[in-house]
Amino acid sequence: MHDPHSERMSAGETRAASGLALVFAFRMLGMFMVLPVLATYGMDLEGATPLLIGLAIGAYGLTQALLQIPFGILSDRIGRLPVIYVGLLIFAAGAALAATADSIWGVIAGRVLQGAGAISAAVMALLSDLTREQHRTKAMAMIGMSIGLSFAVAMVTGPLLTRAYGLSGLFWVTSGMALLGIVIVAGMVPRASSTLQHRESGVAKQALWPTLRNPDLLRLDLGIFVLHAILMASFIALPLALVEQGGLAKEEHWWVYLSALLIGFFGMVPFIIYAEKKRQMKRVLTGAVLVLLLCELFFWLCGNSLRLLVLGIILFFTAFNLLEASLPSLISKVSPAGGKGTAMGVYSTSQFLGAALGGILGGWLYQIGGLGAVFVGCALLALFWVFIAATMREPPYVTSLRRPLSTAALADTGLVGRLLAIPGVSDAVVVAEEAALYIKVDTQQLDRALFERELEEAPVTHSA
């Protein structure tokens, strides 16, 4: 038995977080590895047109967006593991279908089927079942890092694998990684003793409508929608620009993406620190969107040599990495107490819809107007986002807490009112069916003595 209040993650929690992070990473690798290669290698497929290449790049987003929240709710009903196993099998089948296809339509069908293995919400819910309150943020951060790392690895290994084994080989590797994910879940991830209903990591139907009506959250949902639309559309044009205007053979693209991602990752870190420490999230976010806009205009007007294209791609990925890291943090800050899981569900759905639209839009723009049309289209999307970002309010700099409540505390109708009267407490809600209190506090303004006196019956544990 481990101490329930231990500051260190137990061996079981570490195994759960590591195993599920690996499953996420393998799955996202399979999603993203085609991104840098489909525009250049996919035109050899029967029936391929730029529009259909774009559809193949973004197709997974359609089914992912449609099924992610339903699969999460289904995992509450029938258990996490059946949903995860079936989702990974569907993903593997989709990759195998794309691998055996000799036409663009076969690849599109495979990508649609890949997206139908929408296990993100079920994996996050299982992680909540297997970790204690005080370690849940750490465990979720491990998954977040695995997603970011898998994107970077995919951008480099995609071109290398395709050079060695062709597009079909790339899809076979993807299928194999999904099956390996099943082995990892079966052999490495502990079994959960119970299914936890937890509003910070799962979608609550009661919170769905308020989330969809929240203007601050909608701005962020629109932001991630536009960001992934720009990413997918840009990757119709950038690989082709590197070949046509940079004179770089498609087999050599990996070093461009490796350089851009490494420099971009380290380049974003000072801005993340500044945004949090100085409480300037709005300024940093709007600035990063402006950089995206300028990058697209730069590709359009100046991207006629390899050196300039590489410079533009480095700046693009610095802004992209910064936005990709900042937006989930903003969702956590802006969402109401007890509403983070639902807000993240809607956010992820917006992200996948953006990926689907971006692929289709990028392919269509390239078909009607070439590389320039894609870059101008992406610049217009970024300009739209600049106006949306400029109208957002500075987010509250708050931490989410969750506290189990005793029967007596649940019956205390004045508890929420007294907590909201404490300086630094911005939101609080009691969820009776979980016997829990969700609360949001500004740690710099919080009157800790008063807060702890009010909550002295039981320890408060961090969940965000």
Mind listing the pLDDT tens digit for each residue in 218-240?
Answer: 999 999 999 999 999 999 999 99
* Contact call for residues 405 and 435 (beta carbons, < 8 A): yes
- Structure-token pair, residue 129: 């079942």
Q: Which fold has domain 208-397?
A: Growth Hormone; Chain: A; (1.20.1250)
Write down the domain spans for the chain.
12-190, 208-397, 399-462
In whole angstroms, what is the distance from residue 357 CA to residue 80 CA?
30
**pLDDT value of residue 1:** 38
**pLDDT value of residue 196:** 62
**pLDDT value of residue 203:** 67
Confirm or reject CATH 3.30.43.10 for domain 399-462, answering yes or no.
no
**pLDDT value of residue 180:** 95
* Contact call for residues 39 and 234 (beta carbons, < 8 A): no
**pLDDT value of residue 462:** 43
Query: What are the residues whose beta carbons fall under 8 Å from the beta carbon of 271, sequence distance 6 or more?
Result: 284, 287, 288, 322
* Contact call for residues 9 and 127 (beta carbons, < 8 A): no
On the CB side of 405, CA atoms within 13 Å amount to: 23
Residues of the chain with pLDDT under 70: 1-7, 133-134, 194-206, 456-464
* Contact call for residues 225 and 351 (beta carbons, < 8 A): yes
Supply the CATH classification number for the domain 12-190: 1.20.1250.20
**pLDDT value of residue 210:** 78
**What DSSP assignment string belongs to 257-284?**
HHHHHHHHHHHHHHHHHHHHHTT-HHHH
- The DSSP element (H or E) to which 16 belongs, if any, is helix 11-32
Answer yes or no: same fold for 208-397 and 399-462.
no
* Contact call for residues 51 and 209 (beta carbons, < 8 A): no
**pLDDT value of residue 133:** 67
Strand 436-441 to 425-431 pairing: antiparallel
